[in-house]
Structure 1
């Protein structure tokens, strides 16, 4: 199986008689960490007017390489890298403000920063300042970064953007698909100003696979050609890339056998089966006891009919992968297992309780406060997912459990969209319709793709259904194909079914159920808060449109008006004759 393999070379030379204010580094992890986070190469260049900028450069590169690999592997490369760089920028700026340099920012903890991250088949570029990243061509160096330098005159310029220069910083980001054999050059201004494509090709030809020596030759050549600044060069050659269809979760199931048919009281991989909980075309679910701990667990086994489908198997193992990365009492947890596995299965915590679907049967007209309590717990679970750049995508009554203490948990994580696993997709949005159609937000049907506000829509549908036993748009949403279709959706007020409820409840729900996601609340937490403490936006008296207050009367009036118009037109036509 093809894997991710590169050759790296790097070297840095201080300007004669001075301290080297450049700093560079790289991380080439192995195994699962390389699959999850990729390979990172970074360099930074301090500003010459500062006596401490070499500290800033070292902190920027070291901090980035340490902290990027500590971020959640559920996060996208862009989010992980920009979060780390934002924190580094804040720390550098704080160091400046705590020192004498607060009166002269040009002597503070400031540096440029440029990095390449190769994950899967994609290269991700992060950049601020005037170091450069080039792609090598036969006769040219293609500059991939923009110099953030402001030119006052032909002889005077200054950095317009750099790490540590201000409390906040904008980081340039680009992403493109890598190709085997490509060579990338990262260099500070003391190097790139004095070398060209011919010099790089000559160094590569002279040194073969020893790219460290090639980088040393280039750094030395830059100074020999008149460079009087620190000179740092990094060379990255891409030797091998994973197959285009290599699944990120494939390694989770490699080497595991398919489980046999199981029956109650059977022993399986250290578990004793108790009873069957659910059987469907997608999976077989059993209650079992962990023989080592005595803990009850839920074992989910892959469907016999789908065991040759790699996409299905990746989705199957995704549930436990997600559960191990989300820490919330309101999201189903993976069961801790310390022993090696021999078969493919998913082990999750056992929730002793009932589904929300059953709860709604038992409580056909629940009080508003009970619904609020469930919504608030679901919102906390969704928040935990959204904080990891995950979308649940299948929030429905059957995928919500309420245990005997009243704790609400989101279950069935197999349809979760994970931004970190979607890195490399040509369109990283959640585009596929994974959930039940009647709970899916309209933007999925129009091709816009999902977002946290899509999960918010599904949560609002649940709230509406708990209060009324109905769906806010009936089955109309599943027939949406264009934005015009979505705009024609008509919300039927909750008070049509529950006139005793406050009018503001409808206002809050109507906003959360807007066909246009931009018009909904910004987050699930905001929706839950609005249901508990509505603001003036919802409390202001509002005359609902007639179609919402009384749809029958609306269509009766419309029919009368149309008939009157027809009679008027006929009269005018006869009068004309």
Structure 2
């Protein structure tokens, strides 16, 4: 079973398209059995998809004792190779495969429970290999195997999930379709040129020992496909009574882009000239300048023929010779075009081919949240909760694509004439799937705005979706109170000690209309340690709308339990005053 190559889906990230060159071969036969219940498949896509998703090989062995082992293995292979390459390009390999395997396992398990004999079902082993950029990602459940032949030595990388029960018999402790819950082994290892991977089912590796396998795959007089056929024949001759399947994938060349090549691709489009009202670029007329900084400019433009309005973002000529800046600007449109949500501004293709470097987004006729807060210094609690819920939905759409905004602030949140929120600006976004791709550039790490950034962003610690949650909570606090939390001292902090020394003032002390349980949600979302915050922005948004009894109980506890530091400070001050009074009385 094999798969046709995929076609490229986008040109926005073409500067990343350095080729991973592979040679592959595979073979499968029924062997001594009447029916072949094994399934194999390899897919090497073309162009951009090879860069963002890599190449994949999967081997599956349908369990003979199950009633539908053959259907299970075939469904596993076809489903894996189809669904993996359909997952978002922004996802990591591990996240993509885990989602695919979870879905496949549930489908197999559900179909197996409908069979007349409940002790049988759609059950199959599975070993999958994804080669992306300069790394190999291995996924494994069952007793099929993955080996690596490197520098003259063959090594088994996977561990069989087979439990011996005596008399040479074993049973599988893990397999797809065996249980509603699936546990899969995962490994990631760095690739070297010349690496040769072997995937096999037990019909092959149970009949041939490690030395025989190594001798078979290292025969340079044969092609990889011929070696696979020979391994199967050798296993059959050695007395194998099972189906025979194996695959070989050799790394001919790794993507090691030269800095000059990457810079050349990034600078294929020249920087646009400085634009003024009335200028036309690629059929787009500049109506007015919306924003300008030392890093970029944003213009309101209209298409000459249709009159359709767009926002055009152009790079600053200050960075014309800065490849890291150009890469980040190019990636902005790539990121935006992959986030599909009514709460995130939409990146659109220009009506004419681009003659220079810029990108377009939909035009949002509205105002920024910064201006909205100026015009609504004491908004109703319900209004703030409503806006926060929309912002959370926009962030959730990004997080589902393993994309962090990293610069959430009132200036990057628009509210249209219908009260709909739109998140804008992808300039600081981090994309997990792109971070897996090797680049010769020292990538530009643009930090978010210090006033709203989570402590881990400022301290250079690992960052996840809870950093965006922190920023959202800061914004909500500001909407509720008209002031920043922690007396606005967050942007002055540069160490863990300084962050922990800040004092949180409950929002209801500034705005008595804020319920204590809402303040409890705000306080939790702004904890210094990410693990003490909510699990995601959806949980935070839910707590803004539904009272959490634990927050109410918190305020009913004694002050020494709620704020021990403040309590002991008060006690120390009281003791000091008492001592002064006592001393004064003694002196009198």
Spell out the pairing of 1:319-358 with structure 2 (5 A cutoff).
319-337=332-350, 339-358=352-371
Pick aligned residue for 1:170 from 170, 173, 183: 183
Shift of the 500–72 alpha-carbon distance from structure 1 to 2, 3 Å rule, reads closer
Pick aligned residue for 1:188 from 185, 201, 204: 201
Q: Aligned with 2:117: secondary structure?
A: helix
Distance, in Å, in 1 between the alignment partners of 2:582 and 2:34 is: 94
Deviation of 1:198 (Å): 4.9
- Is residue 42 from structure 1 mapped to residue 58 from structure 2 by the alignment? yes
Shift of the 259–93 alpha-carbon distance from structure 1 to 2, 3 Å rule, reads same
- Is residue 287 from structure 1 mapped to residue 300 from structure 2 by the alignment? yes
Deviation of 1:206 (Å): 4.4
Deviation of 1:268 (Å): 0.9
Deviation of 1:98 (Å): 0.9
Deviation of 1:236 (Å): 0.7
Q: Aligned with 1:458: secondary structure?
A: helix
CA contact (8 A) 2:324 2:444 kept: no
CA contact (8 A) 1:13 1:230 kept: yes
Q: Which residue of 1 aligns with 2:400?
A: 387
Q: TM-score, normalised by structure 2?
A: 0.88
Q: Which residue of 2 aligns with 1:232?
A: 245
Pick aligned residue for 1:66 from 79, 82, 86: 82
Distance, in Å, in 1 between the alignment partners of 2:40 and 2:168 is: 29
* Unaligned runs of at least 5 residues, structure 1: 570-577
Q: Which residue of 2 aligns with 1:573?
A: none
Deviation of 1:568 (Å): 10
Distance, in Å, in 2 between the alignment partners of 1:22 and 1:239 is: 28
Spell out the pairing of 1:383-532 with structure 2 (5 A cutoff).
383-424=396-437, 434-478=447-491, 480=493, 483=496, 485-532=498-545
Which region of structure 1 is more displaced relative to structure 2, 360-369 or 132-141? 132-141
Pick aligned residue for 1:145 from 136, 147, 158: 158
* Unaligned runs of at least 5 residues, structure 2: 1-16, 584-588
Shift of the 137–532 alpha-carbon distance from structure 1 to 2, 3 Å rule, reads closer
Which region of structure 1 is more displaced relative to structure 2, 533-542 or 93-102? 533-542
Q: RMSD of aligned C-alpha atoms?
A: 3.1
| 1:481-516 CA distance string (max 9 Å, x none) | 555554433211112222343332322211221112
Distance, in Å, in 1 between the alignment partners of 2:55 and 2:294 is: 40
Distance, in Å, in 2 between the alignment partners of 1:504 and 1:247 is: 56
Shift of the 294–448 alpha-carbon distance from structure 1 to 2, 3 Å rule, reads same
CA contact (8 A) 2:314 2:357 kept: yes
Deviation of 1:542 (Å): 2.5
- Is residue 542 from structure 1 mapped to residue 587 from structure 2 by the alignment? no
Q: TM-score, normalised by structure 1?
A: 0.90
Which region of structure 1 is more displaced relative to structure 2, 482-491 or 235-244? 482-491
Distance, in Å, in 2 between the alignment partners of 1:200 and 1:493 is: 68
| 1:263-321 CA distance string (max 9 Å, x none) | 22222122112122212111121111123432111111111011222221121122222
Deviation of 1:200 (Å): 5.0
| 1:51-91 CA distance string (max 9 Å, x none) | 42111111100100011111111111111111111111111
| 1:326-359 CA distance string (max 9 Å, x none) | 1111111112435432321111111111111111
CA contact (8 A) 2:163 2:171 kept: yes
Shift of the 244–542 alpha-carbon distance from structure 1 to 2, 3 Å rule, reads farther
